[in-house]
């Protein structure tokens, strides 16, 4: 049962897709070299940066997990958004890490790490970034397809077809226009996505009402629905893990950092951060309200991830439904295109770099970048089809993201501010922060260790990863022969 009207809503979605594709393809003529392709020739200004960052960091997957958080945890589920906004505003205002990073003129984070820790660390950091990033992105397609199938009332057997069509559409303009197409389409997608999000939220607040939303959360979760510290599924460990995770994401998540690196100067990059920071509260709270509305209307359901789209399928009237689907498609396309381009930039710039005996021509570089994006698309399709998601989505994303966020944030901070940091510390940090989350994910999937993984939980394992990764950097750096002398020389 859905209010999706194929003639009215289908036309709105069709027009949106057509305009986006045309805009994405039109700018491909401006791509003359690899720098144009990967960082838009470093010509991005503040407002385009805000639109692009907001659109990239809000996909259907975001909407699904934040709504799931709202459904399962009430208003307290928006805590990660508040923490991320605080972290982003702080980093933007102080320029912590992002200033030296942008000033260095690099295309990717590992490129900066090479200047301090050497080529091997650059390569290892590239591998870890791509591993964590692709595992993280692996669930985007299926979740996006799930939302669209439920909202549009399609048969679930069309889920895979929906995923494939979505991916091909995005891959075409990303492969041809790179970052330029991504920025232009991100801008259009930001506008469409925002209109849809705002209208649906106003509709929900008017139809369900604030009183009913609050009463539902009070009845279901008590004080824990409003305060994360007294919520039985959250607690201090949830808040601390999310504080570490979101601070590390703001400093090192390559899709976020790509906007700083594409900015026309450091000041512009910092402005993009400070002025986009409050968006991250909206990013969690707006879909969170949708999730709470689903709880108030549907009551308890078996699959909490599907509660919000199931609710919207009948709560949103025809006409607005087309805007909602276009908005969600916009959100998903901007995220997928940016993520594919970002991981491609690391594979090309950092992982393949040691295998290039001589510098490649711009033509060959562009060819390889486009090939890598196509291969990433194929991987995403296969991974999305075969990986069975267990537990809640936000936690999965947090654990896979931690594979690289923990070590790369430690490496980057040490690289910028600790003169005694060296390659031993960097290597130890990368190894520690990859082993703990990967072991946790594997143990969660194996029947013999699933109970143990559950007893430890993702938050303690996540906190341990960040702390031990930092400790590994300090101990590894201290153990390297001659490290004290190196540090003194660097200080001199």
Partner 1 sequence: MPKHLFWWALSMACVVWYSTITVYVAIKGAGDIRNMLARLGKNRNAEES
Which residues here bind partner 1, judged by CB under 8 A?
27, 30, 32, 36, 40-41, 43-48, 50-51, 75, 78, 180, 183-184, 187, 190-191, 194-195, 197-198, 201-202, 205, 210-211, 214, 226, 278-279, 281-282, 285-286, 289
Taking the CB of residue 205, how many other CB atoms lie within 10 A of it?
13
Q: How far is the CB of 30 from partner 1 (least distance, A)?
A: 5
Residue 113 vs 341, nearer CB to partner 1? 341
CA–CA separation, 313 vs 293, rounded Å? 13
Taking the CB of residue 354, how many other CB atoms lie within 10 A of it?
12
> Phi/psi at 263 (nearest 5 deg)?
-65, 150
Residue 44 vs 135, nearer CB to partner 1? 44
Q: How far is the CB of 278 from partner 1 (least distance, A)?
A: 6
The string over 244-271, giving b where at least 16 C-beta atoms fall within 10 Å of a residue's C-beta and e elsewhere, is: bbbbbbbbbbbbbbbbbbbbeebebbbb
CA–CA separation, 230 vs 73, rounded Å? 11
Residue 131 vs 281, nearer CB to partner 1? 281
Q: How far is the CB of 222 from partner 1 (least distance, A)?
A: 12
CA–CA separation, 43 vs 54, rounded Å? 18
Residue 48 vs 63, nearer CB to partner 1? 48
Residues 6+ apart with CB under 8 A from 229: 235, 236, 239
Q: Nearest-CA neighbor of 245 among 403, 402, 131, 68? A: 402
Residues 6+ apart with CB under 8 A from 239: 79, 83, 228, 229
Q: Nearest-CA neighbor of 89 among 288, 335, 272? A: 272
Residue 146 vs 174, nearer CB to partner 1? 174
Q: How far is the CB of 187 from partner 1 (least distance, A)?
A: 5
Residue 188 vs 434, nearer CB to partner 1? 188
Q: How far is the CB of 202 from partner 1 (least distance, A)?
A: 7
Taking the CB of residue 364, how many other CB atoms lie within 10 A of it?
12
Residue 49 vs 377, nearer CB to partner 1? 49
Beta bridge partners of 120: none
CA–CA separation, 237 vs 217, rounded Å? 22
Residue 125 vs 217, nearer CB to partner 1? 217
Q: How far is the CB of 53 from partner 1 (least distance, A)?
A: 11
Q: How far is the CB of 289 from partner 1 (least distance, A)?
A: 6
Q: How far is the CB of 216 from partner 1 (least distance, A)?
A: 12
Cβ–Cβ < 8 Å for 469, 433 = yes
95 burial level (CB within 10 Å; 0-12, 13-18, 19+): middle
Q: Longest Cα pair distance anywhere in the chain, in angstroms?
A: 73
Q: How far is the CB of 113 from partner 1 (least distance, A)?
A: 29
Residue 268 vs 423, nearer CB to partner 1? 268
- As a residue count, the chain comes to 492
Q: How far is the CB of 264 from partner 1 (least distance, A)?
A: 9
Residue 55 vs 135, nearer CB to partner 1? 55
């Amino acid at each position: 049962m859905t209010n999706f009207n194929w003639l009215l809503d289908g036309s709105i979605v069709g027009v949106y897709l057509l305009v986006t594709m045309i805009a994405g393809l039109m700018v491909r003529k401006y791509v003359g070299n690899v720098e144009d392709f990967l960082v838009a020739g470093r010509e991005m200004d503040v407002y385009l940066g805000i639109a692009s960052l907001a659109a990239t960091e809000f996909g259907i997957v975001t909407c699904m997990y934040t709504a799931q958080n709202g459904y399962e945890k009430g208003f307290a589920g928006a805590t990660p958004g508040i923490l991320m906004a605080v972290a982003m505003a702080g980093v933007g205002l102080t320029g912590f890490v992002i200033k030296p990073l942008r000033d260095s003129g690099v295309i990717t984070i590992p490129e900066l790490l090479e200047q301090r820790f050497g080529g091997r660390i650059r390569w290892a950091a590239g591998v870890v970034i791509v591993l964590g990033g692709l595992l993280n992105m692996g669930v985007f397609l299926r979740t996006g397809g799930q939302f669209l199938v439920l909202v549009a009332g399609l048969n679930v057997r069309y889920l895979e077809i929906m995923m494939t069509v979505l991916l091909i559409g995005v891959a075409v303009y990303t492969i041809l226009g790179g970052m330029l197409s991504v920025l232009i389409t991100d801008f259009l997608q930001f506008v469409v996505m925002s209109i849809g999000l705002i209208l649906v939220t106003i509709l929900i607040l008017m139809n369900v009402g604030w009183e009913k939303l609050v009463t539902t959360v009070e009845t279901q979760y008590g004080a824990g629905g409003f305060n994360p510290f007294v919520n039985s599924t959250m607690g201090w460990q949830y808040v601390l893990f999310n504080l570490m995770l979101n601070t590390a994401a703001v400093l090192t998540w390559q899709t976020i950092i790509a906007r700083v690196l594409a900015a026309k100067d450091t000041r512009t990059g910092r402005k993009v951060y400070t002025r986009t920071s409050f968006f991250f509260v909206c990013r969690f709270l707006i879909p969170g309200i949708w999730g709470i509305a689903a709880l108030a209307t549907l009551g308890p359901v078996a699959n909490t991830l599907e509660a919000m789209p199931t609710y919207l399928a009948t709560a949103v009237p025809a006409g607005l439904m087309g805007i909602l689907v276009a908005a969600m498609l916009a959100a998903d396309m901007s995220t997928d295109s940016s993520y594919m381009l970002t991981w491609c930039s690391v594979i090309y710039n950092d992982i393949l770099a040691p295998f290039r005996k001589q510098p490649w021509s711009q033509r060959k570089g562009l060819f390889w970048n486009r090939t890598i994006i196509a291969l990433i698309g194929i991987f995403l399709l296969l991974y999305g089809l075969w990986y069975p998601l267990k537990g809640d989505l936000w936690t999965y994303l947090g654990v896979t993201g931690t594979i690289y966020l923990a070590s790369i944030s430690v490496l980057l901070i040490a690289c910028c501010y600790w003169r005694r940091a060296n390659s031993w510390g960097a290597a130890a940090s990368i190894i520690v922060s990859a082993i703990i989350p990967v072991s946790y994910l594997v143990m969660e999937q194996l029947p013999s260790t699933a109970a143990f993984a559950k007893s430890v939980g993702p938050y303690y394992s996540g906190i341990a990863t960040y702390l031990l990764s930092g400790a590994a950097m300090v101990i590894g750096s201290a153990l390297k022969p001659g490290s004290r002398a190196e540090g003194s020389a660097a200080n001199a």
